[in-house]
Amino acid sequence: MDPVERLYLDALMEDPAVPAGSLRPQLLAGARARRRPAAPTAEWARPYAGRVAALDALLASAVDDDWSRVIVEGWTLQELVAHLAAKDGLLAASVGAPVLGPPMAARDAAGRTADVQAYERARSPEQTRRDWRAQADALCRHLDGLDPATPATVDGMESVVRDHILARCLETWVHTGDAARVAEIRLPDPVPEHIRPTADLCARLLPWTMLFSGLDGSGRTLRLTLTGAGGGEWLLPLGVADTGPGTPDAHVTADVVAFCFLLGGRGEPDGFPAELSGDLALARDVLTSAPALSGP
């Protein structure tokens, strides 16, 4: 299957446990008919554009009760979508893309989320969906032709815009999973070409998740093997100031999707399914600290 077509989420896979007589299949059929393709953007931003299209396809199946259900962080589906629009708007502001929604009063994630959620509560869920999609698409269009090494600062974190958009991809992917679980809908994974760069970001964040957790990985090296479509192998220095990897001190092998979701704050590090070898204490520290940078 052509990966570009695949990223448009050709199917919302129905859970086999859906009871007979459920209206869910008809709702999903209508959602497929209303799905919109990913916005055109730079090659390096396509993983994000694909996750936006996937979430939009899921939202097309939502009915009134779905929008008022609590999904995560005490937020309803409508408030969750507003949160994503807020975070996308912060990146848009940093790179000079259009910022939609209420005026930008707060520049931090929590403050901007509160402002956008308050604004969207006065609107219909479908308007919120359109507002979020319009913000995401405006960001995608702006990134087309932009140098991926362009510096950007979001919520106090400075990095190149390519890494920031991969972070937006991961958060959108994770929250789509949150919404799908509540709706009892199974979703296909992203195409491998989109999983790989997202996994690469997650791997490169490990020295920072350790540092943020109060663990010093300086001078230590991890061999990380991620299995499944889009996976691969990384030799990672675990100190943020390390100039390069050394001989591996520990080896962690895990499923690539599960690993990305662990970095995204989903899954219990203590019970995370992984094969560990070498310095087991170091390997466990890596997994325990992995979700440290995840937020709402």
Residue pair 256/234 in contact (Cβ under 8 Å)? The answer is no
pLDDT confidence of residue 5: 37
Residue 113 has pLDDT above 70, yes or no: yes
pLDDT at 127: 97
Averaged pLDDT, 95-113: 96
Q: Which long-range contacts (CB under 8 A, 24 or more apart) does 154-159 make?
A: 154/87, 154/90, 154/91, 154/94, 154/109, 155/90, 155/107, 155/108, 155/109, 156/108
Q: Which of 6-15, 80-89, 146-155, 262-271 has the lowest mean pLDDT?
A: 6-15
Nearest-angstrom CA–CA distance, 269 and 284: 8
* pTM for the structure as a whole: 0.89
Which has the minimum average pLDDT: 110-119, 131-140, 178-187?
A: 178-187
CA distance 270 to 259: 13
Residue 222: HSE in the Cβ half-sphere, 13 Å Cα cutoff: 27
Confidence band (pLDDT; 50, 70, 90) for 37? confident
Residue 41 pLDDT more than 90?
Answer: yes
| Average pLDDT rounded to a whole number, residues 178-200 | 90
Q: What tokens were used for 54?
A: 């996937």
| Sign of the four-CA dihedral 25, 29, 30, 32 | positive
CB atoms within 10 A of CB 243: 6
Spell 286-296 as b/e; 16+ CB within 10 A means b: bbbbbbbbbee
pLDDT-derived band at 32, boundaries 50, 70, 90: low
pLDDT surpassing 80 at residue 1: no
pLDDT for 83 equals 98
Per-residue model confidence (pLDDT) at position 35: 62
Q: Please tell me the predicted confidence (pLDDT) of residue 15.
A: 44
CATH of domain 199-293: 3.30.1050.10
Distance CA 68, CA 123 (A): 13
Give the mean pLDDT of 154-161.
95
Q: Which of 23-37, 38-52, 148-162 comes out lowest in average pLDDT?
A: 23-37
Q: pLDDT, tens digit, for every residue of 42-68?
A: 999 999 999 998 899 889 888 889 999
- pLDDT tier, 296 (very low <50, low <70, confident <90, very high otherwise): confident
Assess contact for 211 and 242: CB atoms under 8 A. Answer: no
User: What is 3-188's CATH topology?
Assistant: Four Helix Bundle (Hemerythrin (Met), subunit A) (1.20.120)
- Give 16's pLDDT tier (boundaries 50, 70, 90): very low
Domain boundaries, the chain: 3-188, 199-293
One-letter-per-residue 3-state SS of 214-234: CCCEEEEEEEEEEECCCCEEE
Provide the pLDDT for residue 120.
97
- The C-alpha atoms of residue 50 and residue 86 are separated, in whole angstroms, by 19
Per DSSP, which regions of the chain are E strands?
Answer: 13-14, 70-72, 75-76, 151-154, 157-160, 185-186, 217-227, 232-238, 250-255, 275-278
* Of the candidates 255, 245, 249, 293, the residue with the CA atom closest to the CA atom of residue 275: 255
C-alpha triplet 147, 150, 151: angle, nearest 5°:
170
Task: List pLDDT tens digits, range 215-264.
Answer: 999 999 999 999 999 999 999 999 999 999 999 999 999 999 999 999 99
Q: What is the pLDDT of residue 84?
A: 98
pLDDT the model gives residue 30: 53
What pLDDT score does 79 carry? 98
Decide if 99 contacts 89 (C-beta within 8 A).
yes
